[in-house]
């Protein structure tokens, strides 16, 4: 399954970069994430619970490794998830630019493979759920960004 898209964050690129490297922020923002812990330089482990069609509350152990980092412009993510109903693994590329109209534009592409019982729900449903989860995560990250910017602004 290939996913790609773009999202504009309402804040500076350096702050967006920092958010995308923070496991606590990611754990709060990624739907179904129970925990995400830094276990090494650019390596995280955690647990997620995901429901897709008839597969409800499937729990996955997740590892995420970051690479090809060029702060604050780009990085890649290797993702591996394993659970009782199957597995998912994939690679994502993230690029951050500063458009003339302000904010931070994030372009992303991901190639994800899904196997096991969870793959039996069908490609269309999996793509639909993945896109919805991505949108929820990006909206949540934008809210985290706004909270961080508001906290740093001090009294007005």
Domain ranges across the chain: 2-150
pLDDT of 54 reads 67
Q: Can you identify the CATH homologous superfamily of domain 2-150?
A: START domain (3.30.530.20)
d(CA 96, CA 113): 25
Blockwise average pLDDT, block size 10, the chain, 156 residues: 94 96 90 91 92 74 95 96 90 96 96 85 79 91 94 63
Peptide bond into 109 cis (omega under 30): no
Would you say 134 and 141 are in contact if contact means Cβ atoms under 8 Å apart?
no
Q: What pLDDT, on the 0 to 100 scale, is given for residue 55?
A: 65
| pLDDT on residue 20 | 94
pLDDT, residue 153, reads 66
pLDDT of 156 reads: 43
- The answer, as to whether pTM is greater than 0.95, is no
3-state secondary structure 8-41: EECCCHHHHHHHHCCHHHHHHHCCCEEEEEEEEC
């Amino acid at each position: 399954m290939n996913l790609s898209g773009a999202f504009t964050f309402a804040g500076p690129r350096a702050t967006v970069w920092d958010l995308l490297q923070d496991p606590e922020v990611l754990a709060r923002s990624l739907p179904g994430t129970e925990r995400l812990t830094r276990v090494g330089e650019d390596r995280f482990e955690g647990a997620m619970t995901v429901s897709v069609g008839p597969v409800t509350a499937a729990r996955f152990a997740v590892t995420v490794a970051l690479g090809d980092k060029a702060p604050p412009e780009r990085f890649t993510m290797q993702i591996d998830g394993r659970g009782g109903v199957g597995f998912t693994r994939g690679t994502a590329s993230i690029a951050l630019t500063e458009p003339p109209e302000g904010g931070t534009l994030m372009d992303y592409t991901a190639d994800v493979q899904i196997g096991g019982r969870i793959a039996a729900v069908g490609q269309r449903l999996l793509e639909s759920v993945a896109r919805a989860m991505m949108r929820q995560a990006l909206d949540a990250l934008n809210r985290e960004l706004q909270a961080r910017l508001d906290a740093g602004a001090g009294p007005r």
